Amino acid sequence: MIAVVVIAAATVLLRLVCLTPSPHGDIQMSHGDSHHGPIAVKLTGAVEGNGIYFLSEKETLAGLLKIAGIAERDHPDKYVLEKTLQAGQAIAVHAGNRMEFGEMDAAERLALDMPIDLNRATLEDLMLVSGIGERTAERILSFRADSGPFKTVEDLQKIPGIKEKKLSRLRKYFFVGKPS
């Protein structure tokens, strides 16, 4: 329960940091401009430009590193640098130019109005969603464990207590990703 409170507080703080007006009347974002592009990408690790970047749809890793003020990395596979970034992606840059690709966590995604993967969500992730309490989250996880991965978000209606009206409120918070 404490973890849920901490995550909820982090979500509120992230919203405040990302959406606090600056003295100039503009919206202050971690990096970039929310009107510059439709995708948000997180950069972390052994770099000075850590943060969330708002980029154009076709931006590459090389482009992100340039925007972040990071000298282009020597990477044995140039394909990696030319890879198009995806919304919600997290890139960690480690020593020796090693890069790790993953996803932003659920609290960050939800704070940025991005859906979370219904098949990867944990109990705590599900409880961050408005309208889902611990009991409903447990039912969702139990259904997933018993029936396998969700095929569509509409499968939530198979959970006791989730009817069409509730599903219509929840739909924007979820997506069903490709199996890993």
Mean pLDDT of the chain: 80
Higher pLDDT, 77 or 159: 159
Retrieve residue 29's tokens: 């974002």
Query: Please, are residues 89 and 103 in contact by the beta-carbon 8 Å criterion?
Result: yes
Name 12's Cβ contacts closer than 8 Å, sequence gap at least 6.
none
- Pair 98, 120 in one domain: no
User: What's the rounded Cα separation, in Å, for the pair 7 and 106?
Assistant: 9
What pLDDT is stored for residue 111 in this prediction? 94
Q: What domain range includes position 71?
A: 2-107
Could you count the other beta carbons within 10 Å of the beta carbon of residue 96?
8
Domain boundary pick from 64, 79, 107: 107
- Pair 53, 132 in one domain: no
- Pair 14, 93 in one domain: yes
What pLDDT is stored for residue 16 in this prediction? 38
User: What's the rounded Cα separation, in Å, for the pair 59 and 46?
Assistant: 21
Residue 21 has pLDDT above 80, yes or no: no
- Pair 48, 97 in one domain: yes
Q: Is residue 39 part of a domain?
A: yes
- Pair 168, 94 in one domain: no
What pLDDT is stored for residue 52 in this prediction? 94
Total domains in the chain come to 2
Instruction: Supply the CATH number for residue 139's domain.
Output: 1.10.150.320
Residue 23 has pLDDT above 50, yes or no: no
- Pair 91, 26 in one domain: yes
pLDDT tens per residue across span 45-54: 888 889 999 9
Q: Is residue 141 part of a domain?
A: yes
Could you count the other beta carbons within 10 Å of the beta carbon of residue 23?
6
User: What's the rounded Cα separation, in Å, for the pair 164 and 142?
Assistant: 20
Domain boundary pick from 107, 142, 162: 107
Q: Is residue 180 part of a domain?
A: no
Residue with token string 């590193």: 65
- Pair 150, 94 in one domain: no
Domain boundary pick from 57, 79, 107: 107
* Half-sphere CA count of 164, side-chain side, radius 13 A: 0
- Pair 90, 6 in one domain: yes
User: What's the rounded Cα separation, in Å, for the pair 151 and 146?
Assistant: 14
Q: Is residue 154 part of a domain?
A: yes
Residue 25 has pLDDT above 50, yes or no: no
- Pair 47, 70 in one domain: yes
- Pair 97, 126 in one domain: no
- Pair 32, 90 in one domain: yes
Query: Please, are residues 68 and 31 in contact by the beta-carbon 8 Å criterion?
Result: yes
Name 180's Cβ contacts closer than 8 Å, sequence gap at least 6.
none
Retrieve residue 110's tokens: 């939800």
- Pair 126, 163 in one domain: yes
